[in-house]
Amino acid sequence: MRLKVLGCSGGIGGGQRTTSFLVGRHTLIDAGTGLGDLSVAELVQIDHLFLTHSHLDHIAMLPLLVDTVGAMRRKPLLVYASASTLAILSEHIFNWKVWPDFRVIPDASAPFLRFVPFELGDSIQPETNLTITALPALHTVPAVGYQLDSGRYSIVFTGDTTVNDAFWPIINGIGNLKALIIETAFCNHERALAEASYHLCPAMLASELQKLAKPAEIHITHLKPGEIELTMQEIGELAAAFRPKMLKNGQVLEF
């Protein structure tokens, strides 16, 4: 199984794209601006979208995705998220004011879009050799992370999160853990902002990684444009033992 990074930035500009990962050919994790770099032929093949939470940098391309390929598909795009996240999308996005409700277009019996409630601890197999499980995250809105399990290896994505003691016992129990994709949105001098917005800074990240009880590749995501070099320098100094690497657009992780 392959995970391709379509976007992994905490902002835009200078070629940066916000969070979206393509897993295999038919499954997406989040729908940030990186999704827009796929061809129409690739977009049509996406059957499953797993959202970590409702913030714009993670859902920005979802309305346009459905509008672009809905009529080209024979079945609805399935969007998996917590009931709370789906309720936010219903009220604020697919409400006929910001965007049409594609759950009833062209009609409710055969829509272009279908919501699937997917709660913490739930697992599903969207593709052969891929099981996705919702993991705990702690953010300013209801949020989850995801375990992506090919059977051979697992990659874990924290989603947007702050210090989260509930997360680590689950991760430490994954026997085939290969890689952890973990966010660090702010540099250390913005720690107060990181804490207020329920993100991590390098010092907080280093403390969190001390709770990891097994070896794994560490990939840093959600870095803010303009602070990438400083933040990665601080991470390198404080978490050197974990050999963290910056996740990059276009990068492919095999698992």
Model confidence pLDDT, tens digit, residues 9-18: 999 999 999 9
Question: What pLDDT does 132 receive?
Answer: 99
Question: What pLDDT does 124 receive?
Answer: 98
Those residues whose C-beta lies under 8 Å from the C-beta of residue 91, and which sit 6 or more positions away, are none
Q: Domain extents for the chain?
A: 2-254
Yes or no: is domain 2-254 CATH 2.60.40.10? Answer: no
Q: How far apart, in whole angstroms, are the C-alpha atoms of residue 101 and residue 62? A: 12
Return the percentage of the chain with pLDDT > 70, whole number: 100
pTM of the model as a whole: 0.97
Strand order in the sheet with 20-23: 113-117, 77-81, 48-50, 27-29, 20-23, 2-7, 252-254
The Cα diameter of the chain in Å comes to: 56
Q: Residue 105 — very low, low, confident or very high, per pLDDT cuts 50/70/90?
A: very high
Return mean pLDDT, the chain: 98
Question: What pLDDT does 127 receive?
Answer: 94
| 23-62 pLDDT, tens digit each | 999 999 999 999 999 999 999 999 999 999 999 999 999 9
| Mean pLDDT score, 166-174 | 98
Element (H, E) at 167: helix 167-172
Question: What pLDDT does 13 receive?
Answer: 95
* Beta-strand pair 27-29/20-23: antiparallel
Q: How far apart, in whole angstroms, are the C-alpha atoms of residue 4 and residue 250? A: 6
Are residues 86 and 62 in contact, defined by beta-carbon separation less than 8 angstroms?
no
Question: What pLDDT does 240 receive?
Answer: 97
Question: What pLDDT does 246 receive?
Answer: 98
Residue with tokens 């997360």: 167
CA distances from 28 to 4, 24, 35, 163 (A): 10, 9, 9, 25
Q: How far apart, in whole angstroms, are the C-alpha atoms of residue 108 and residue 236? A: 51
Taking the CA of residue 68 as centre, how many other CA atoms within 13 Å lie in the half-sphere pointing to its CB? 16
| Mean pLDDT score, 133-145 | 98
| Mean pLDDT score, 163-182 | 98
Q: Give the DSSP letter string of 74-124.
A: SSPEEEEE-HHHHHHHHHHTSSSSSS--TTSSS-TTS-SEEEEE--TT-EE
| 175-234 pLDDT, tens digit each | 999 999 999 999 999 999 999 999 999 999 999 999 999 999 999 999 999 999 999 999
